[in-house]
Amino acid sequence: MTDNTLSRFHVRAQDQPVVDQGDAGNESWMSAGGDPRDRGRLVELVSEQLVGSERLMVGLAWLSPGEVHLLHHHPHADEWYYIIRGSAQFTIGDEVIRGEPGSALWIPRAVPHRIHNDRPRETLEFLWGFDRPRLDSVGIVWDE
């Protein structure tokens, strides 16, 4: 196998479908608990469906300037973020945190959280992950 050959252990972000979190017509996202008021885009990188993961899910997400990933919580999963590019205001529980490149944020199960890309010219790019292998297994409860 050469370095360019894909396997079940190798996923390329550019080959995965982009989920628009506000797209009410995206059946799989809405059935996982999506809300058409929400904003941002994401791709899955590691999941049960893509690589057979049984215990975790990892993805990449973007929020354009001014976009808000609405306040919500996950009753069945812990989550984390790692900021790659841009800067945004993250609300986690009762704390408001400025996330910048190199910031890692931990969101325990059931803790409400929100992201506001309050920068006028920067797209926020970040990795995210859950301790569950599928979006429909984490639960999404919208708190706003």
b/e 120-131 (16+ beta carbons within 10 angstroms → b): eeeebebebbbb
| Number of domains, the chain | 1
Residue 101 in domain = yes
Tell me, what's the pLDDT at 95?
Answer: 98
Tell me, what's the pLDDT at 1?
Answer: 43
Contact present, 139 and 77 (Cβ < 8 Å):
yes
Residue 2 in domain = no
Give the residue numbers spanning the domain of 32: 19-142
Tell me, what's the pLDDT at 4?
Answer: 57
User: What pLDDT tens digit does each residue of the chain (144 aa) get?
Assistant: 455 566 778 889 999 999 999 999 999 899 999 999 999 999 999 999 999 999 999 999 999 999 999 999 999 999 999 999 999 999 999 999 999 999 999 999 999 999 999 999 999 999 999 999 999 999 999 999
Question: In Å, how far from its chain's centre is CA 52?
Answer: 19
Beta bridge partners of 82: 104, 127
Residue 1 in domain = no
Residue 3 in domain = no
Residue 10 in domain = no
Residue 119 in domain = yes
Residue 8 in domain = no
Q: Tokens 């809300």 sit at which residue?
A: 35
Tell me, what's the pLDDT at 72?
Answer: 98
Residue 95: CB partners within 8 Å, gap ≥ 6?
Answer: none
pTM: 0.92
Give the CATH number for residue 52.
Answer: 2.60.120.10
Residue 66 in domain = yes
Tell me, what's the pLDDT at 46?
Answer: 96
